[in-house]
Chains A and B, each alone.
Chain A
Amino acid sequence: MAAAGSVTVALHVAEVLETIVSGCLGPEGRQVLCTKPTGEVLLSRDGGRLLKALHLEHPVARVMVACVSSHLRKTGDGAKTFIIFLCHLLRGLREITDKEKDYFIFENIQTCGRHWKNCCQWKFISQALLTFQTQILDYIMDHYLSRHFLSIFSSCSKERTLCRSSLEMLLGAYFCGRVGRNNHNLISQLMCDYVFKCTACESRFEEVLEIVDDCFVELKVGVTGLPVSDSRIIAGLVLQRDFSVYCPADGDIRIAIVTETIQPLFSVSGSEFILNSEAQFQTSQLWITERTKAIVKHLQSQNVKLLLSTVKQPDLVIYCAGLNGISVVECLSSEELSLIQRVIGLAPFTLPEASSQYELSHTALVEFCKPLILRSKRYVHLGLMSTCSFTPHCVVLCGPVQGLIEQHEDALHGAFKMLRQVFKDLDLNYVTQTSDQNCTSGPCIYENSRENNELPKIVNSSIQRSYQDTVVKSKGELAKTQTNLKVCSNLIVPGVKLEKNVLCSGPKVAVTDSYQTEETLRCSSPNKGTIMDDHEPYIESNSANSTTENTRREISYGNLQVTKLARKDSMLSLRYKSLEMHTSQSYYFSSIPAGCVLPVGGNFEILLHYYLLNYAKKCQQSEQTMVSRIIANALLGVPRILYKSKKGNYSFPQVYVRALQTLQTNQPMISNQTGLESVAGKYQLLTSVLQCLTNILTVDLVISIERQPQEICDQDSEEEL
């Protein structure tokens, strides 16, 4: 498959998907009715759901939907915007490359040589897209966009308190584009209440959100047949089981967890039980009964009123428990168990080996334990006393049909993922080149020569800390998306042992010792084709001062001629195009603090578009200019669709012109939309789209196979025998 041909095909596929999702984008979007191949009907505005419901066998379409799914798993937002943005990028790329082709000739008249050059061009373009991410995007975000950001925290000091109205605006905007118009206010209010109720301490939102995101399935209960407005939040934990035996209890209630049956079995696996006579059998049975009763009595003596079991207990145990006033819940799922353990820190009760050994058993105190009846289904309602920052509450989602409840559940889950990203700092790493007059070096290309998802973290703090591992962090933790060519945006803090004269200056940082970090630099400059081992880097001290409040440290290197260190698990290879030129590269570490948001309505896209175009005008290298222009134009596709239905003063051209005027005159941007969106989410969406595009552009050949290749079983062991 020609790479150029694959762009055309990819564009067709993307356009088809775009027609499907563009109708439901934004608050004005409509519901889309989709008939699955099984005959079920799906009515939804959720982009991810719709895309997964389509029956796609085209390989490029499947790649796109897989990229969207993995992006959603991480961030919970942006499926429709992903497809629209990807489609516009492909269109832009096709227009650029169409300039060389004849418009009217479809048949192939190209020779192999020309075709090879076309493919080189696509590879070049895809590399340019990735270096855009490392060199331009972070730089623009850090320098220009950061002054427009708002924060959902009410004070930017160390004590940050979450502002409730900002959270409502953020969630309102999220649900507005995802849930039906009559329900989205209710759901966003519900979620807001939930977040505030669950968080005991104001500053521990991240932990709470993490627990809720991981265990969301256990924290929600769906009830069909009731109107959506009956949805509510219940304090405590609701287990999806009913009591096997229920004994109402007052006073202190303790619970114990068992993971095996209390009643001893005749024999355990791996052992034999030999009976010679009927009397022996009856004696054994009697012993079993007595033992069970003893254990249950022991539990009762410990004031255990509730027994939670992950397995099915035999009838004798239930009977004894009932006699002793212990309620029993059986067949708990392992996820529910792990949630309980996470919240109250209770370990399972270990059964004592002999009748005389009664160790201190593991029990915990709970506030209450009672049955809960929701529309003819019975549940167990536990009031746990939490030892962590998460106060357990459950969401009861009501809806007329199961499908609607599932959509609301998905929307809530996605919202929690999105909030998790909002509450994290976004690290930015970029390199700028301050080159001399005779410098014509190309972009720095960082390659990850192994496909490995585990990239060690970069330390975004003082360089005085010494760290031994390679420090690379890819942008926005997107290492999880699979790419064949991973570009590590960063910042290689040089990994050679520096013995003398190491000076790295920033105004607040002073490195006095040599710091050891390791990296592999493989220099492939024209004259020095081999790997060299015995150089020391020459580190120039740079007197640039960063006066901004962000901690931005700058290290600049000049004449870095080093290569060294093939540490085995290092993952970087750095290639400089020309080392003889005196280019100094400046590496910047910065971060966008948690809680940064922007008003909705395409503000992020318009801002980034404006600054990218400005950058493209100043930039000298033509491939960066081309890439910046393509991306800047593609960014406008999203607000164009959002404002499609508006007229007059609120139509897209008016909004765009007004925004440009305010930006050019350096006035603050005013937005008349209530609603906020997360900057981290937008940034991660952009980088995901660029990586997906790179994947698609680097496809050379598509081979269709009938079935998955089989795993090659280990034949060595057979051969040894």
Chain B
Amino acid sequence: MALNGAGEDMDCGGLWLRGSGSTLLQQDLPAPCASLPPEVDDFSWEPPTEAEMKVLQARRERQDRISRLMGDYLLRGYRMLGETCADCGTILLQDKQRKIYCVACQELDSDVDKDNPALNAQAALSQAREHQLASASEPPLSSRPAPQPPVPRPEHCEGAAAGLKAVQGPPPPAVLPNADVVACTQEALLQKLTWASAELGSSTSLETSIQLCSLIRACAEALRSLQQLQH
């Protein structure tokens, strides 16, 4: 006997079978007035906290997006299958070439994948920057992604093609900036770095510390760019 809905096992403990519906209806239901199972009463339910609300809201929006995408695909002639995806539980679609397609896995970024550097360019860039920050005192290594002046974008980022074209469009400026200006900027940056590190040492709040660290990182990057300009 083939059972449907592998993905619908989310809430079910496994396989179980019911008797025919009529036998159930002739049993006396436990408490005629209770509407909910007895172990739940209204006093134990509390309204969700802020964080939980945000998560709920995000989940609802994600679900709305999935529904809208699925509706679009259905209107384009895709077929809605009776199975759900094993990873995320969304209903699967099948196109005219009989290829199975899961909208959530293949189109929407999931919550987790946002931080995976292998999948996301932004995550890769921040990882690279963190590496450089760790080696900020040493001369810049050649661990930078590529020698092109603007940062390269992987193909699947939005506007990748346009970005690449924009990269090759205007040639890099050949004129070196004035050495005095560079020295002043470096001076200012170092002062900021000093101040920030002093503040970091004395701060007790988490948020402030994070912001100070990012300030330090930005200063280090600026310094590096300035050093490149000089070379």
A residues near B (Cβ < 8 Å) are 1-2, 4-6, 8-9, 12-13, 15-20, 32-37, 39, 54-59, 61, 99-100, 103-104, 106-108, 110-112, 114-115, 117-121, 123-125, 127-128, 440-443, 447, 449, 484-485, 524, 526, 577, 621-623, 626, 698, 700-705
**Do B91 and A623 have beta carbons less than 8 Å apart?**
no
- Cα–Cα, bound, A51→B10 (Å): 28
Q: Can you name the residue of chain A whose Cβ is closest to the Cβ of B63?
A: A15
Q: Can you name the residue of chain A whose Cβ is closest to the Cβ of B15?
A: A701
**Do B71 and A19 have beta carbons less than 8 Å apart?**
yes
Which residues 9-33 in B have Cβ within 8 Å of A in the complex?
9-14, 16-18, 21-22, 24-26, 28-30, 32-33
Flag whether B176 is at the interface (Cβ < 8 A): no
**Do A103 and B75 have beta carbons less than 8 Å apart?**
no
Contacts A99-B45, A115-B13, A577-B32; A123 near B24 (Cβ below 8 A): yes
Find chain B residues with CB under 8 A from A17 CB.
Answer: 71
Flag whether B77 is at the interface (Cβ < 8 A): yes
**Do A59 and B35 have beta carbons less than 8 Å apart?**
no
Flag whether B132 is at the interface (Cβ < 8 A): no
Find chain B residues with CB under 8 A from A114 CB.
Answer: 37
Q: Smallest distance from the beta carbon of A132 to chain B beta carbons, Å?
A: 13
Contacts A15-B63, A56-B79, A110-B13; A702 near B4 (Cβ below 8 A): yes
Find chain A residues with CB under 8 A from B67 CB.
Answer: 12, 15-16, 18-19
> Could you mark each residue 157-199 of chain B with 1 if its beta carbon is under 8 Å from any beta carbon of chain A, else 0?
0000000000000000000000000000000000000000000
- Cα–Cα, bound, A604→B37 (Å): 34
> Could you mark each residue 197-219 of chain B with 1 if its beta carbon is under 8 Å from any beta carbon of chain A, else 0?
00000000000000000000000
List 18 A-B pairs, Cβ < 8 Å. Answer: A1-B5, A2-B12, A5-B5, A5-B10, A12-B63, A12-B90, A15-B67, A20-B75, A35-B75, A54-B80, A56-B79, A61-B80, A100-B45, A108-B11, A112-B13, A124-B35, A700-B21, A704-B2
- Cα–Cα, bound, A119→B2 (Å): 22
- Cα–Cα, bound, A183→B91 (Å): 38
- Cα–Cα, bound, A609→B77 (Å): 37
- Cα–Cα, bound, A123→B26 (Å): 12
- Cα–Cα, bound, A57→B26 (Å): 34
Find chain A residues with CB under 8 A from B78 CB.
Answer: 55
Flag whether B84 is at the interface (Cβ < 8 A): yes
- Cα–Cα, bound, A220→B21 (Å): 47
15 A-B pairs besides A13-B91, A112-B16 with CB distance below 8 A are A1-B8, A5-B9, A6-B8, A16-B91, A37-B79, A54-B75, A57-B81, A59-B82, A100-B45, A119-B18, A121-B35, A443-B32, A623-B33, A703-B2, A703-B3
Contacts A100-B36, A112-B16; A4 near B11 (Cβ below 8 A): yes
Q: Smallest distance from the beta carbon of A104 to chain B beta carbons, Å?
A: 8
**Do B52 and A9 have beta carbons less than 8 Å apart?**
no
**Do B52 and A103 have beta carbons less than 8 Å apart?**
yes
Q: Smallest distance from the beta carbon of A499 to chain B beta carbons, Å?
A: 31
Find chain A residues with CB under 8 A from B82 CB.
Answer: 57-59, 702, 704
- Cα–Cα, bound, A120→B23 (Å): 12
**Do B18 and A701 have beta carbons less than 8 Å apart?**
yes
Q: Smallest distance from the beta carbon of A115 to chain B beta carbons, Å?
A: 6
**Do B33 and A100 have beta carbons less than 8 Å apart?**
no
Contacts A12-B90, A108-B9, A701-B17; A20 near B74 (Cβ below 8 A): yes
Q: Smallest distance from the beta carbon of A10 to chain B beta carbons, Å?
A: 11
**Do B35 and A5 have beta carbons less than 8 Å apart?**
no
Flag whether B48 is at the interface (Cβ < 8 A): yes
Find chain B residues with CB under 8 A from A441 CB.
Answer: 32
**Do A54 and B74 have beta carbons less than 8 Å apart?**
yes
**Do A124 and B40 have beta carbons less than 8 Å apart?**
no
- Cα–Cα, bound, A2→B78 (Å): 27
6 smallest beta-carbon distances between A and B, as pairs: A442-B32, A19-B71, A2-B12, A15-B67, A35-B77, A55-B79
How many residues does chain B have at the interface if contact means C-beta atoms less than 8 Å apart? 55
Find chain B residues with CB under 8 A from A58 CB.
Answer: 80-82, 91
Contacts A9-B91, A100-B40; A703 near B24 (Cβ below 8 A): no
Find chain A residues with CB under 8 A from B55 CB.
Answer: 103-104
Q: Can you name the residue of chain B whose Cβ is closest to the Cβ of A449?
A: B22
Flag whether B96 is at the interface (Cβ < 8 A): yes
**Do B18 and A704 have beta carbons less than 8 Å apart?**
no
Q: Smallest distance from the beta carbon of B55 to chain A beta carbons, Å?
A: 7
> Could you mark each residue 23-65 of chain B with 1 if its beta carbon is under 8 Å from any beta carbon of chain A, else 0?
0111011101111110010000100100010011000000110
Find chain B residues with CB under 8 A from A34 CB.
Answer: 75, 77
Q: Smallest distance from the beta carbon of A451 to chain B beta carbons, Å?
A: 11
Find chain B residues with CB under 8 A from A57 CB.
Answer: 79-82
Contacts A9-B91, A19-B71; A623 near B35 (Cβ below 8 A): yes
Flag whether B114 is at the interface (Cβ < 8 A): no
Q: Among B3, B10, B14, point to the contact of A8 (Cβ < 8 A).
A: B10
Flag whether B76 is at the interface (Cβ < 8 A): yes
- Cα–Cα, bound, A103→B45 (Å): 12
**Interface-central residue, A54, A112, A447, by most chain B CB under 10 Å:** A54
- Cα–Cα, bound, A115→B89 (Å): 20
Find chain B residues with CB under 8 A from A125 CB.
Answer: 35
- Cα–Cα, bound, A5→B45 (Å): 22
Find chain B residues with CB under 8 A from A12 CB.
Answer: 63, 67, 90-91
Q: Smallest distance from the beta carbon of A56 to chain B beta carbons, Å?
A: 5
Q: Can you name the residue of chain B whose Cβ is closest to the Cβ of A700?
A: B18
Find chain B residues with CB under 8 A from A59 CB.
Answer: 4, 82
Find chain B residues with CB under 8 A from A121 CB.
Answer: 35-37
- Cα–Cα, bound, A118→B21 (Å): 15
Q: Can you name the residue of chain B whose Cβ is closest to the Cβ of A124?
A: B29
Find chain A residues with CB under 8 A from B40 CB.
Answer: 99-100
Find chain B residues with CB under 8 A from A524 CB.
Answer: 26, 28
**Do A5 and B12 have beta carbons less than 8 Å apart?**
yes
Flag whether B146 is at the interface (Cβ < 8 A): no
Contacts A485-B21, A702-B4; A56 near B16 (Cβ below 8 A): no
Flag whether B68 is at the interface (Cβ < 8 A): yes
Q: Smallest distance from the beta carbon of B210 to chain A beta carbons, Å?
A: 25
- Cα–Cα, bound, A100→B67 (Å): 25
Find chain B residues with CB under 8 A from A37 CB.
Answer: 77, 79, 96
- Cα–Cα, bound, A701→B34 (Å): 26
Find chain B residues with CB under 8 A from A2 CB.
Answer: 8, 11-12
**Do A120 and B74 have beta carbons less than 8 Å apart?**
no
Flag whether B70 is at the interface (Cβ < 8 A): yes
Q: Smallest distance from the beta carbon of A298 to chain B beta carbons, Å?
A: 61
Flag whether B1 is at the interface (Cβ < 8 A): yes
**Do A698 and B4 have beta carbons less than 8 Å apart?**
no
Find chain A residues with CB under 8 A from B25 CB.
Answer: 123, 127, 447, 485
- Cα–Cα, bound, A114→B16 (Å): 13
Find chain B residues with CB under 8 A from A123 CB.
Answer: 21, 24-25
**Do A108 and B32 have beta carbons less than 8 Å apart?**
no
Find chain B residues with CB under 8 A from A6 CB.
Answer: 8
**Do A9 and B5 have beta carbons less than 8 Å apart?**
yes
Contacts A447-B25, A623-B35, A703-B4; A1 near B12 (Cβ below 8 A): yes
- Cα–Cα, bound, A33→B34 (Å): 48
Q: Can you name the residue of chain B whose Cβ is closest to the Cβ of A525?
A: B28
Q: Can you name the residue of chain B whose Cβ is closest to the Cβ of A21?
A: B71
- Cα–Cα, bound, A35→B170 (Å): 44
**Do B13 and A108 have beta carbons less than 8 Å apart?**
yes
- Cα–Cα, bound, A443→B29 (Å): 12
Q: Can you name the residue of chain B whose Cβ is closest to the Cβ of A620?
A: B33
**Do A103 and B11 have beta carbons less than 8 Å apart?**
no
Find chain B residues with CB under 8 A from A119 CB.
Answer: 18
- Cα–Cα, bound, A61→B93 (Å): 13
**Do A100 and B37 have beta carbons less than 8 Å apart?**
yes
- Cα–Cα, bound, A308→B145 (Å): 87
Find chain B residues with CB under 8 A from A103 CB.
Answer: 48, 52, 55-56
**Interface-central residue, A58, A118, A120, A121, by most chain B CB under 10 Å:** A58
Find chain A residues with CB under 8 A from B81 CB.
Answer: 57-58
Find chain B residues with CB under 8 A from A442 CB.
Answer: 32-33
- Cα–Cα, bound, A467→B54 (Å): 63
